[in-house]
Amino acid sequence: MALHNRIDKRILKEKMQHSSEERITISFYKYHQLAEPKAFRDELYTLLDQLGVMGRIYVAHEGINAQISAPKANLDIFREKLYSIDFLNGVRLNIAVDDNGKSFFKLKILVRKKIVADGLDDTSFDVTQTGQHVNAADFNKLAENPNTIIIDMRNHYESEVGHFKGAVLPDVDTFREELQIAEDLLKDNKDKNLLMYCTGGIRCEKASAWMRHKGFNNVFQLNGGIIEYTRQVKNEGLENKFIGKNFVFDERLGERISEDIVSVCHQCGKACDTHTNCKNDGCHLLFIQCEECAGHFNGCCSDECKEIIAMPAEAQKELRKGINKGRQVFRKGRSEKIAFRKVNHQSSTIL
């Protein structure tokens, strides 16, 4: 059996969009020493493929980080099989908040050096000395304390569409940068309560240990991130302090948490929080686009890209030769082609 899916991406995507199968989007992670990540990867692929699971999973010597979707009909058996793996027994499954089940269209399991690209040398500090994990109720209490600084540990394009009220939102492209800037921004506040959060909690696991290592004395982290917070807020009838959308790294690109729209269309400037990728395959820029602009630009980020997608496929292919697409995608919303690209909103109001 092939342990990879080799069918064309477009075909798989199309199939997923038209499928009526009910699917649930789930994420989970676990830091755990794995002696043989490659062997574990192959076993896991076989197991999940049989259950019709799709998604993106990173496996490394330090553990596993998974974003997946599972057929609703197989949910119980999926949980049972997953929990039969010793180190994953009882792992928290973050269930997506605002889910159409169309989050992934194939299964990809990659062996990496790390499960989160944090750029940290893990031997230089004690990664087990994490901050204190807090639930939604405690997060709210801490957030109201004037001695608390809330910091968003995600990237600029994530916090742009949604964040906690009053949070510091570092204007960074990567988690690596985030750690440096967080340390720098907060260096005069080492005795305050540092309350950090991310999407599902995984980034805060290392970040909190890193900040403690850097001399921050009262570090707290939102357990299970924005996804678990939202679940608890709903279940327990708590006040929701998160405004806007939770950006997610799958086909949905975001989950609506509150009705507030905190960002603008990058092309016309009107209130909008719908992320999209430019339809020109040679560009693929991630940016925010309203429906009207999507119509006007045919889903592209600029007139230039709109002209390109009107060309015959062969000519487009010719144009793409030699272009490093990756570079463009990761400029996420910072392209000069975009009129309303985000202004630096590094929060200086709080500090």
Measured from the CB atom, the residue of 85 and 264 that comes closer to Zn ion is 264
Other CB atoms within 10 A of residue 338 CB = 20
Find, among 240, 236, 276, 280, the residue nearest to 260 by Cα: 240
Measured from the CB atom, the residue of 199 and 280 that comes closer to Zn ion is 280
Contact in structure between 261 and 271 (CB atoms under 8 Å): yes
Other CB atoms within 10 A of residue 249 CB = 12
**Per-residue x/- mask for Zn ion, residues 255 to 284, rule CB under 5 A?**
----------x-xx---------x-x--x-
Rounded distance between C-alpha atoms, residue 187 and residue 245, angstroms: 29
User: Is there binding between residue 286 and Zn ion (CB under 5 A)?
Assistant: no
Least distance CB 90 / Zn ion (angstroms): 45
Least distance CB 251 / Zn ion (angstroms): 19
User: Is there binding between residue 182 and Zn ion (CB under 5 A)?
Assistant: no
Rounded distance between C-alpha atoms, residue 99 and residue 227, angstroms: 12
Least distance CB 245 / Zn ion (angstroms): 17
User: Is there binding between residue 293 and Zn ion (CB under 5 A)?
Assistant: yes
User: Which residue has 């807090």 as its token pair?
Assistant: 134
Measured from the CB atom, the residue of 175 and 287 that comes closer to Zn ion is 287
Given 194, 288, 305, 309, the residue binding Zn ion (CB under 5 A): 305
Given 290, 331, 338, 347, the residue binding Zn ion (CB under 5 A): 290
User: Is there binding between residue 16 and Zn ion (CB under 5 A)?
Assistant: no
User: Is there binding between residue 329 and Zn ion (CB under 5 A)?
Assistant: no
Rounded distance between C-alpha atoms, residue 90 and residue 158, angstroms: 29
Measured from the CB atom, the residue of 196 and 272 that comes closer to Zn ion is 272
Site for Zn ion in 83-122 (CB under 5 A): none
Burial of 334 from C-beta contacts in 10 A (0-12 / 13-18 / 19+):
middle
Alpha carbon of 80 to those of 47, 59, 107: distances in Å? Answer: 12, 20, 19
Measured from the CB atom, the residue of 24 and 305 that comes closer to Zn ion is 305
Least distance CB 268 / Zn ion (angstroms): 3
Measured from the CB atom, the residue of 199 and 267 that comes closer to Zn ion is 267
Contact in structure between 286 and 248 (CB atoms under 8 Å): no
Measured from the CB atom, the residue of 73 and 339 that comes closer to Zn ion is 339
Tell me, what amino acid is at 270? K
Rounded distance between C-alpha atoms, residue 272 and residue 291, angstroms: 9
What is the set of active-site residues? 198
User: Is there binding between residue 209 and Zn ion (CB under 5 A)?
Assistant: no
Rounded distance between C-alpha atoms, residue 76 and residue 86, angstroms: 17
Least distance CB 274 / Zn ion (angstroms): 10
Tell me, what amino acid is at 60? A
Given 82, 107, 301, 309, the residue binding Zn ion (CB under 5 A): 301
Least distance CB 31 / Zn ion (angstroms): 38
Tell me, what amino acid is at 336? E
Rounded distance between C-alpha atoms, residue 187 and residue 39, angstroms: 43
Kindly state the helix (H) or strand (E) to which residue 152 belongs, with its residue range.
strand 148-152
Dihedral, CA atoms, 18, 19, 25, 30, nearest 10 degrees? -110
Rounded distance between C-alpha atoms, residue 96 and residue 94, angstroms: 6
* Total residues interacting with Zn ion, rule: CB under 5 A: 11
Least distance CB 11 / Zn ion (angstroms): 23
Residues that bind Zn ion (CB under 5 A): 265, 267-268, 278, 280, 283, 285, 290, 293, 301, 305
